[in-house]
Structure formats: C-alpha cells, structure tokens
C-alpha cells in the first residue's frame, strides 16, 4: 500500500519522521504541543471572522428589509420644485 502525501511514498515519509526525531529529539513533543496550540488559536480566530461576517450579512439583510418596508409605507418620493429666478421688471 502506497501513501500519497505530496507524492511521497511510505519510505520517504518514514525517513522524514526519523530525521525529525534525530534533529529535534526531546523537543519534539514540545514542538508538537506548540503547533497544536497554534492550530487551536487559528481555528478560534477563523470562527471569530465567520461570526463577524455572519453578523454583517444579517445586519445588511435587516437594513434592506427595513428600507423595503419603509418604502411601502410612505408615498412615492417627488422631486422638490425648482425655484424660478426672480424676474426683472421691464422698463
């Protein structure tokens, strides 16, 4: 069975894992923990952005609905009369 991860086979993935253990050694659990915490913080931030976007969309819908309802209750808008320039008396 061949694992396909960025076109890497099982032997390449095992080799990379062994190199990581040799290079990082005892710090590997600490690195994994900090990566996990980073992912959790990223997901929280992403959820916050999703909530902000949802709130903005909902408020836009509310404003549009209120405008639509207000337009139905008021008479149609008319243009204000334009003022005529004062006429000059003819001599």
* Longest Cα separation, the chain: 108
Identify the pLDDT of residue 77: 56
Identify the pLDDT of residue 48: 93
Identify the pLDDT of residue 42: 96
17: closest CA among 1, 28, 7, 27? 28
SS3 66: helix
Encode pLDDT of 24-65 as tens digits: 888 888 988 999 999 999 999 999 999 999 998 888 888 878
Residue with the two structure tokens 């337009």:
71
71 pLDDT higher than 80: no
34, 41 Cβ separation under 8 angstroms: no
What pTM does this model have?
Answer: 0.46
66 pLDDT higher than 70: yes
SS3 3: coil
Residue with the two structure tokens 């004062």:
86
């Amino acid at each position: 069975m061949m694992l396909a991860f960025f076109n890497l086979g099982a032997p390449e993935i095992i080799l990379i894992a062994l190199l990581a253990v040799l290079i990082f050694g005892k710090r590997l659990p600490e690195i994994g923990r900090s990566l996990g915490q980073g992912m959790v913080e990223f997901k929280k931030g992403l959820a916050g952005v999703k909530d902000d976007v949802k709130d903005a969309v909902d408020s836009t819908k509310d404003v549009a609905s209120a405008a639509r309802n207000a337009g139905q209750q008021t008479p149609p808008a008319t243009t204000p009369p334009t003022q005529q320039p004062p006429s000059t008396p003819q001599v």
